[in-house]
Chains A and B, each alone.
Chain A
Amino acid sequence: EAQVTQNPRYLITVTGKKLTVTCSQNMNHEYMSWYRQDPGLGLRQIYYSMNVEVTDKGDVPEGYKVSRKEKRNFPLILESPSPNQTSLYFCASSALAGAHEQYFGPGTRLTVT
Chain B
Amino acid sequence: GDSVTQMEGPVTLSEEAFLTINCTYTATGYPSLFWYVQYPGEGLQLLLKATKADDKGSNKGFEATYRKETTSFHLEKGSVQVSDSAVYFCALSAPYGNNRLAFGKGNQVVVIP
**A99 contacts B101, CB within 8 Å?**
no
Q: Which of B44, B99, B105 contacts A97 (CB 8 A)?
A: B99
User: Do residues B98 and A40 form an inter-chain contact, with CB atoms below 8 A?
Assistant: no
| Cβ–Cβ contact B101 & A102, under 8 A | yes
Interface assignment of A90: CB less than 8 Å from any CB of chain B: yes
Closest Cβ–Cβ distance, residue B28 to chain A (whole Å): 14
Q: Does A62 contact B (CB under 8 A)?
A: no
| B100:A90 contact, CB within 8 angstroms | no
Query: How many A-B residue pairs lie within 8 Å, measured between CB atoms?
Result: 68
B contact residues, total (Cβ < 8 Å): 25
**B99 engages A50 (CB within 8 Å):** yes
List of A residues within 8 angstroms of B100 by Cβ: 33, 45, 48, 58-59
Are A99 and B43 in touch, CB under 8 angstroms? no
Q: B51 an interface residue at 8 Å Cβ cutoff? A: yes
Q: Would you give the 0/1 interface string for B73-94, flagging 1 where the beta carbon is closer than 8 Å to chain A?
A: 0000000000000000100011
Residue of B nearest to A6 (CB): B43
Residues of A in contact, count (CB < 8 Å) = 27
Whether A97 pairs with B93 at a CB distance below 8 angstroms is: yes
A45-B98 in contact given A40-B105, A90-B44, A104-B44 (Cβ < 8 Å):
yes
Selected contact of A43 from candidates B49, B98, B103, CB within 8 Å: B103
Give residues 62-113 of A contacting B (CB, 8 Å).
Answer: 90, 92, 94, 97-99, 101-102, 104-107
Q: B34-60 CB contact bits vs A (8 Å, 1 = yes)?
A: 101000001111100101000000000
Docked CA distance A90–B43 (Å): 7
Contact of A99 with B49 in the complex, beta carbons under 8 Å = yes
Chain B residues near A43 (CB-CB < 8 A): 44, 89, 101, 103
Task: Kindly provide the distance from the CB of A90 to the nearest chain B CB, expressed in whole angstroms.
Answer: 6
B32 in contact (CB, < 8 A): yes
Given the complex, which residues of B lie within 8 Å of A90, measured CB to CB?
A: 43-44
